[in-house]
Amino acid sequence: MKNFLKHSTIICLIALTVTACESNKSSDTSGSNSPVAKVASDTSANNPAETALTVTDKGCEPNQLTVASGQNSFVLTNKSSQPLEWEILSGVKVIEERENIAPGFVQKLKTNLEPGEYEMACGLRSNPKGKLSVKAGVGDSQAKGTVDQGKLVGAIAEYKVYVTKETDQLVADNKTFTDAVIAGDLAKAQKLYASTHVHWERAEPIAELFSDLDKTMDSRADDFAKKEADPEFTGYHRIEKALFQDKTTKGMKPFAEKLQKDGLELQKRIATLTIEPKNMVGGAAGLIEEVAATKVSGEEDRYSHTDLWDFSANVDGSQKIVELLRPIIQKANPDLLARVDTNFTKVNQKLAKYKTPDGGFATYDKVSETDKKDMKTAIAALSEDLSQLRGTLGVN
**Residue 263 pLDDT > 50, yes or no?**
yes
Task: Say which range, 170-174, 272-276, 315-319, 392-396, has the weakest mean pLDDT.
Answer: 392-396
Question: For 148-170, what is each residue's pLDDT tens digit?
Answer: 667 899 999 999 999 999 999 99
Contact 105, 9 (CB under 8 A): yes
What's the chain's Rg over C-alpha atoms?
A: 21
Residues in the chain: 396
Dihedral sign (CA 74, 77, 78, 80): negative
* Pairwise CA distance, residues 285 & 351, whole Å: 18
> The pTM is what?
0.77
Q: List alpha helices for 243-333, DSSP H.
A: 253-271, 277-290, 307-332
In the chain, alpha helices (H): 7-14, 153-183, 186-202, 204-207, 211-218, 236-240, 253-271, 277-290, 307-332, 334-352, 369-386, 389-392
What are 181-227's pLDDT values in tens digits?
999 999 999 999 999 999 999 999 999 999 999 999 999 999 998 99
